[in-house]
Amino acid sequence: METPTFAPLPETVVVQLNAVRTATISYQLAKRGLGNTFMAGLAPLRPDLRLCGRAVTLRYIPVRADLLKDKKEDTNAQRQVIESIGAGEVLVIDARGTTASATIGNILTTRVQARGAAGIVSDGCFRDSPAIAAMDFPTYARGRHAAMNSTALLPADINLPVGCGGVAVIPGDVIVGDAEGVIVIPYEIVEEVAADAAEQEQVEDFILEKVRGGASTIGLYPPNENVRAEFRRLSE
């Protein structure tokens, strides 16, 4: 079974999302009633790299011997998703937050990278993490573990809604990662969120310079209408 290929994000949106903080995106999503979008407990193996792409999901269940023994490579959900992930997509792994084994290692991560994917996000562990951390490839995980996934996990489903880091992820959602962590944006609102986040950071940079110059934050942050008018005037 092959995973569907999602339409790539417009380049302007990618540029905007790669230039803004996940904290800014979080604020924009909260304004739209989406408060639980940042994945808790996940950290980047390469904090210097940015992540942006559409989600392809893999769900693990707890391992059980009678289910594991008959699994073959051509029917293994993990191998299927790895061999079908497309350019610019992000492999999002739902491991139920377990740290009892790894979810993926460096050879399969290298294959995901070779297929042109944008990165990997797992709420479990990475195996061979020093080798993965040396790759020029954005990866996020809850931890590190030397044991194979079959020690505690069984790959079950591809491209179903999952939970990762306590956040709902629907296949095709937009995944953005920075040094702070990973956030999820519903695809339907990604263009407006990206544009508003870019504008918000411009205003906040303006405010930050004022604070560095000794200005009080009262009336300045959050900006009142006088501050916004001054920003607009100086931006013209």
Last residue of a domain, one of 172, 187, 202: 187
205 and 167 in a common domain: no
> What mean pLDDT is predicted for residues 145-166?
95
**Looking at the structure, do residues 130 and 211 belong to the same domain, yes or no?**
no
Assess whether pLDDT exceeds 50 at residue 1. Answer: no
Q: What is the pLDDT of residue 43?
A: 98
Q: What is the greatest pairwise CA distance in the chain?
A: 69
**Rounded-to-5 percentages of helix, strand, coil across the chain:** 35, 25, 40
Instruction: Please give the tally of structural domains in the chain.
Output: 2
Long-range contacts at 182-185 (CB < 8 A, ≥ 24 apart): 182/22, 182/38, 182/39, 182/42, 182/51, 182/121, 182/140, 183/22, 183/25, 183/26, 183/29, 183/37, 183/38, 183/39, 184/37, 184/39, 184/55, 185/25, 185/29, 185/37
- Say what the pLDDT of residue 236 is: 82
pLDDT, residue 71, reads: 61
Residue 181, both tokens: 């962590």
Query: The domain that contains 115 carries what CATH number?
Result: 3.50.30.40
Question: Do 146 and 50 belong to one domain?
Answer: yes
Q: Is residue 5 part of a domain?
A: no
Are both 174 and 196 inside the same structural domain? no
Domain membership of residue 224 as a residue range: 192-235
198 and 148 fall within a common domain: no
Look at residues 125, 178, 223, 212 and name the one whose alpha carbon lies nearest to residue 19.
Answer: 178
Same domain assignment for residues 107 and 208: no
Among 149, 165, 187, identify where a domain stops.
187
> Contact 109/153 with Cβ under 8 angstroms?
no
Selected residue with higher pLDDT from 210 and 70? 210
pLDDT > 60? residue 83:
yes
Interhelix angle 190-212/11-19, rounded to 10 degrees, is 30
What phi and psi values does residue 135 have, to the nearest 5 degrees?
A: -80, 150
Does residue 203 share a domain with residue 183?
A: no
Q: Does pTM top 0.75 for this prediction?
A: yes
